[in-house]
Amino acid sequence: MMGEQVIKQRLRVGMVGYAFMGAAHSHAWRTAHRFFDLPLTPELTAICGRNVEAATEAAERMGWASVETDWRELIARDDIDVIDICTPGNTHEEIATAALAAGKHVLCEKPLANSVAEAEQMADAAEAAALRGALAMCGFTYRRTPALTLAKRFVDEGRLGSIRHVRAQYLQDWLSDENAPLTWRLDREKAGSGALGDIGAHSIDLAQWVTGQRIEGVSALTHTFVDERPVGGDFVGLGGHGDAANAEKGPVTVDDAALFSASFSGGAIGIFEATRYALGRKNAMRLEINGSLGSVSFDFEESNVLNYYDSRDDAEAIGFRRIIVTEPEHPYVGNWWPTGHGLGYEHGFTHQVVDLVTDIAAGRQPSPSFAEAAQVQQVLHAVERSASSDSQWQALETDRTEGGAQ
Ligand code: SOE
């Protein structure tokens, strides 16, 4: 008799947005159950975008079964179980709170929102919805890079000892050309902030998650190098080249770069840098942690490598080890390729779906939760308060995750 085919329950997804993050999330929803044994099988049920032609083209290209042009109608559908929000930050609160109220699970891109008030409303809505079985997660995907998951394991196992220094940089260069066009990421109304919230938020979440410590206060500097840019122009990737000759120019209303120092709940101190002007650095999301017994360092531009230093190694052999994080024993990688073949940027999104689907099936709160993401928003806000005030120090006003509550 033919082997019994196990028909798994579907998890029907509705995604809002279809640009860079929409493409990465679509790939993850299509791929996760083909490489991991998931308790539910994701289905790309509907994609939503205001422009019906563009959304229809995206649906055909990315594999979505239907198209909506109003997110409210998407949320109202009874054949949708999860709402995946891949839109600019000014839309997150409205969509997420409505979806949670409608009993949908929610995956929301980072940063959670454009303000602390919105983020706290989303976290409150997620807490209430969880009591009714609707779960929410924020898309800080770098946690699910195998080398960084391994770094957290090393910290949790005590291999680094007590954590003293956190050194986090997120270096990109797509705005180095002063003629790169004005895009939504440079508009405070849409993006909430610039490099700080877009890429600095990743560093904040990651530093706290890997160390297990919370940032309690910051002292900061933000800067905008180019305060007006060509409107329009050929948009390439994140930046592109505006037509400088005679293009209309518009104001940049966000930071181009943010620098800040931080104190952590467990006694560590940290230094953070986020910039879109580090010419030559394309996506250098870097983290180094120094403890009393050892250190780890990571650079996303070598994302399959974790550098590890153990002070207990023999003197003649001591030094940073370059661990190629592709052994089956390493996080996630056993489901992919043989050792040494490596993973890429998109795999963090697929691992995010793996863990979200597993948590939904188990009725377990996914991480990062909206509460964790709201605490990151508090840090972003403290950085902006510090940078805009004369005072040298800003303690967080509230932290709903205090005491480790997730
Ligand atoms: C642009 O800086 C960006 O696309 C971020 O928005 C993403 O979160 C990051 O993963 C890659 O860079």
Say if residue 110 is in the same domain as residue 174. no
Query: 83 lies in a domain?
Result: yes
Atom of ligand 1 nearest to the CA of 195: 2
Residue 343 is predicted with a pLDDT of 98
Q: List the domain range (segments joined by +) for residue 123.
A: 10-142
Query: Does residue 34 contact residue 41 with C-beta atoms inside 8 Å?
Result: no
Q: How many residues does the chain have?
A: 406
What is the distance in A from the centroid of ligand 1 to the CA of 161? 32
pLDDT at 161: 98
Return the DSSP state at 143. Answer: G
Residue that terminates a domain, selected from 142, 167, 190: 142
Same domain, 95 and 109: yes
Q: How many CB atoms lie within 10 A of CB 219?
A: 17
Are 122 and 95 within 8 A, CB to CB? no
Which pLDDT score is estimated for 247?
72
Tokens of residue 130, six digits: 């969880």
The predicted pLDDT at position 107 comes to 98
Domain boundary among 109, 142, 175: 142
Q: For a substitution probing ligand 1, which of 145, 199, 204 has the most ligand atoms within 8 Å of its CB?
A: 199
**Pair (312, 249) in one structural domain:** yes
Query: Is 173's C-beta closer than 6 angstroms to any atom of ligand 1?
Result: no
| Main-chain dihedrals φ then ψ at residue 54, nearest 5 degrees | -65, -40
Q: Is the CB of 199 under 6 A from ligand 1?
A: yes
pLDDT at 405: 59
Three-state SS annotation for 328-372: CCCCCHHHCCCCCCCCCHHHHHHHHHHHHHHHHHHCCCCCCCHHH
* Residue 3 resides in a domain: no
Span 189-227, pLDDT tens digits: 999 999 999 999 999 999 999 999 999 999 999 999 999
Domain membership flag for residue 53: yes
351 belongs to a structural domain: yes
CATH number of the domain to which 223 belongs: 3.30.360.10
Residues 239 and 128 occupy one common structural domain: no
Q: Which atom, in ligand 1's list, is nearest to the CA of 141?
A: 10
Cite the DSSP H helix spans in 188-267: 188-191, 195, 201-211
Which pLDDT score is estimated for 149? Answer: 97
Indicate whether 126 and 161 sit together in one domain: no
In a domain, 1, yes or no: no
Structure tokens at 133: 């079985």
pLDDT tens per residue across all 406 residues of the chain: 566 667 789 999 999 999 999 999 999 999 999 999 999 999 999 999 999 999 999 999 999 999 999 999 999 999 999 999 999 999 999 999 999 999 999 999 999 999 999 999 999 999 999 999 999 999 999 999 999 999 999 999 999 999 999 999 999 999 999 999 999 999 999 999 999 999 999 999 999 999 999 999 999 999 999 999 999 766 556 766 655 555 799 999 999 999 999 999 999 999 999 999 999 999 999 999 999 999 999 999 999 999 999 999 999 999 999 999 999 999 999 999 999 999 999 999 999 999 999 999 999 999 999 999 999 999 999 999 999 986 666 678 888 898 775 6
Residue 187 shares a structural domain with residue 108: no
For 43-59, how does the pLDDT look when each residue is reduced to its tens digit (9 = 90+)?
999 999 999 999 999 99
393 C-beta closer than 6 A to ligand 1: no
In a domain, 2, yes or no: no
Q: Please indicate, yes or no, whether residues 255 and 123 belong to a single structural domain of this protein.
A: no
Position in ligand 1 atom list of the atom nearest CA 202: 8
159 and 251 belong to one structural domain: yes
Would you say the CB of residue 238 lies under 6 angstroms from ligand 1? Answer: yes
Report d(CA 375, CA 396) in Å as an integer: 9
Pairing, β 269-275 against β 257-264: antiparallel
Task: Judge if the beta carbon of residue 198 lies within 6 A of ligand 1.
Answer: yes
d(CA 308, CA 289): 10
The rounded Å distance from CA 312 to ligand 1 centre is 37
Residues 188 and 115 in one domain: no
Cβ atoms within 10 A of the Cβ of 397, count? 10
Residue 406 CA to ligand 1 centre (angstroms):
24
Number of domains in the chain: 2
As a whole number of angstroms, the distance between CA 135 and CA 248 comes to: 45
pLDDT at 312: 98
Greatest C-alpha distance within the chain: 77
Q: Are residues 279 and 348 in the same domain?
A: yes
Q: Is residue 4 situated within a structural domain?
A: no
**Is 265 in the same domain as 385?**
yes
Task: Quote the pLDDT of residue 282.
Answer: 97
Is the domain of 242 the same as that of 302? yes
Query: The domain that contains 85 carries what CATH number?
Result: 3.40.50.720
Closest CA to 346 of 112, 170, 144, 82: 144
pTM for the full predicted model: 0.94
Domain boundary among 96, 118, 142: 142
Residue 5 domain flag:
no
